[in-house]
């Protein structure tokens, strides 16, 4: 088995503003270590998968920054989309270019900006899922056992075991983000979170795309090799031809060929500054990155990208300092930062800082 990571890195997260900006989205931020999250994402796969085998799909304007962040991924395997068309066209592209990679090739579609630990548990699950994907010629989704009735994620309803003795099960149904009561029922019923992580043999995925998303399947046919000199224009034609649709909606929810493997690693999509509170807390339950001078501060996330953050007598705050902006808000309202950024867009003074 040879694993080919396909990292989706086209996001434009605003929830980590002011650290995240249009030209520096979450996957490029050093949120969990001193390097960009996408670099952590690839490092976590070693030695199971080599960077030389990885593909990264991002936005065209982010291409240079992404290449710099993951220098071990061959430049021609970092693909800049001329327009964002959701995940299906990106996954199809990777499947297309991996179609000749040999009978033991398995693609693993992975987000670029989530927290996953421990890394060895992830690698064990990926290896197991890849084995199942090859053996059963299936698309194998990693399902995360929920820790609480989250309304912000999709759920996977599991069916019977894929085979006697296997941990994988059939996918009975994908369930959209639920309301609170429904989420509670899902958790009780043993549904799993859909974290957007799935593995497949490239030919299997291509076949599914041809059946369930024929427009994308047709558009793929004209595409040259990624090293071709006219790749840029070919990509423009491809992205102009395909619909904007998620891989979940285009393929996963329609195929009868999906299995789910319950994950045995810890996972968090790091949806806001508040989510950092879980990582390397110090004694007072603070999570600190950069230079900070704290006196009687507890339960807070302090991130100084630039200069010093000095705080005194505060609780459960997010304090972020960049070269041009300081953000202060309660941890429990960190998800509203997005709305603040929206508002800032309309203010000529602040809009330069987005």
Residue closer to a second copy by CB (options 194, 287) is 287
- Mark residues 199-238: x for contact with a second copy by CB under 8 A, - for none: ----------------------------------------
Verify binding: residue 340, a second copy, rule CB under 8 A. yes
Residue 147 CA to its chain's centroid (Å): 19
Q: What is the DSSP string of 192-246?
A: EEEEEEEEE-HHHHHHHHHHH-HHHHHHHTT---TT-TTHHHHHHHHHHHS----
For residue 318, count other CB atoms closer than 10 A to its CB.
23
Verify binding: residue 326, a second copy, rule CB under 8 A. yes
Contacts of 105 (CB under 8 A, 6+ apart): 2, 4, 98, 201, 202
Question: Quick one: 100 exposed, middle or buried, by C-beta within 10 A (0-12, 13-18, 19+)?
Answer: exposed
Verify binding: residue 245, a second copy, rule CB under 8 A. no
Task: Look up residue 336 and give its DSSP letter.
Answer: G
Considering only the stretches 3-11, 29-37, 196-204, 315-323, report the one whose residues sit in contact with a second copy under the rule CB under 8 A. Answer: 315-323
Q: Tell me which of 159, 291, 298, 299 binds a second copy, using CB under 8 A.
A: 291
Verify binding: residue 319, a second copy, rule CB under 8 A. yes
Residue closer to a second copy by CB (options 61, 336) is 336
- Count of positions on this chain that bind a second copy (CB under 8 A): 36
Q: Tell me which of 119, 184, 241, 310 binds a second copy, using CB under 8 A.
A: 310
Verify binding: residue 7, a second copy, rule CB under 8 A. no
Verify binding: residue 321, a second copy, rule CB under 8 A. yes
3-state DSSP call for residue 52?
A: helix
Verify binding: residue 35, a second copy, rule CB under 8 A. no
CB of 190 to a second copy, least distance (A): 36
Contacts of 112 (CB under 8 A, 6+ apart): 7, 8, 9, 11, 27, 37, 38, 41, 56
Verify binding: residue 42, a second copy, rule CB under 8 A. no
Residues linked to residue 174 through DSSP beta bridges, in sequence order: 156
Judge whether 255 and 213 are in contact, CB under 8 Å.
no
Q: Match 């996001």 to its residue by tokens.
A: 11
Residue closer to a second copy by CB (options 121, 314) is 314
Considering only the stretches 45-53, 210-218, 276-284, 318-326, report the one whose residues sit in contact with a second copy under the rule CB under 8 A. Answer: 318-326
Residue closer to a second copy by CB (options 223, 311) is 311
Contacts of 302 (CB under 8 A, 6+ apart): 286, 287, 288, 289, 290, 292, 294, 309, 311, 319, 320
Binding positions for a second copy, rule: CB under 8 A: 18, 291, 293, 295, 304, 306-314, 317, 319, 321, 323-330, 333, 336-337, 339-340, 343-344, 347, 349-350, 353
């Amino acid at each position: 088995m040879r694993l080919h990571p396909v990292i989706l890195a086209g996001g434009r997260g605003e929830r980590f503003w002011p650290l995240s900006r249009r030209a520096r989205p979450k996957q490029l931020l050093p949120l969990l270590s001193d390097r960009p999250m996408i670099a952590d994402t690839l490092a976590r796969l070693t030695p199971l998968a080599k960077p030389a085998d990885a593909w990264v799909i991002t936005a065209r304007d982010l291409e240079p920054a992404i290449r710099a962040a993951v220098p071990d991924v061959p430049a021609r395997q970092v693909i800049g989309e001329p327009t964002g068309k959701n995940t299906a066209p990106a996954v199809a592209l990777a499947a297309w270019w991996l179609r000749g990679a040999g009978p033991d090739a398995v693609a693993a579609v992975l987000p670029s900006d989530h927290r996953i630990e421990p890394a060895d548990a992830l690698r064990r699950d990926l290896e197991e899922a890849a084995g199942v994907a090859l053996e059963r010629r299936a698309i194998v989704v990693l399902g995360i056992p929920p820790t609480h009735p989250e309304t912000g994620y999709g759920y996977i309803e599991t069916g019977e075991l894929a085979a006697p003795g296997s941990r994988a099960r059939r996918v009975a149904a994908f369930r959209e983000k639920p309301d609170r009561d429904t989420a509670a029922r899902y958790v009780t019923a043993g549904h799993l979170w859909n974290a957007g992580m799935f593995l497949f043999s490239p030919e299997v995925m291509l076949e599914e795309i041809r059946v369930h998303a024929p427009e994308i399947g047709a558009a793929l046919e004209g595409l040259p090799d990624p090293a071709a000199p006219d790749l840029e224009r070919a990509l423009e034609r491809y992205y102009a031809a395909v619909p904007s649709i998620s891989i979940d909606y285009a393929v996963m929810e329609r195929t009868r060929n999906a299995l789910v493997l319950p994950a045995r690693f810890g996972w968090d999509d790091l949806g806001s500054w508040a989510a950092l509170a879980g990582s390397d807390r110090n004694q007072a339950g603070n999570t600190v990155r950069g230079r900070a001078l704290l006196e009687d501060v507890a339960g807070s996330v302090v991130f100084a990208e630039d200069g010093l953050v000095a705080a005194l007598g505060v609780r459960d705050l997010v304090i972020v300092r960049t070269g041009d902006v300081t953000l202060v808000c309660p941890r429990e309202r960190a998800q509203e930062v997005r709305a603040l950024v929206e508002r800032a867009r309309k203010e000529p003074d602040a809009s330069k800082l987005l």
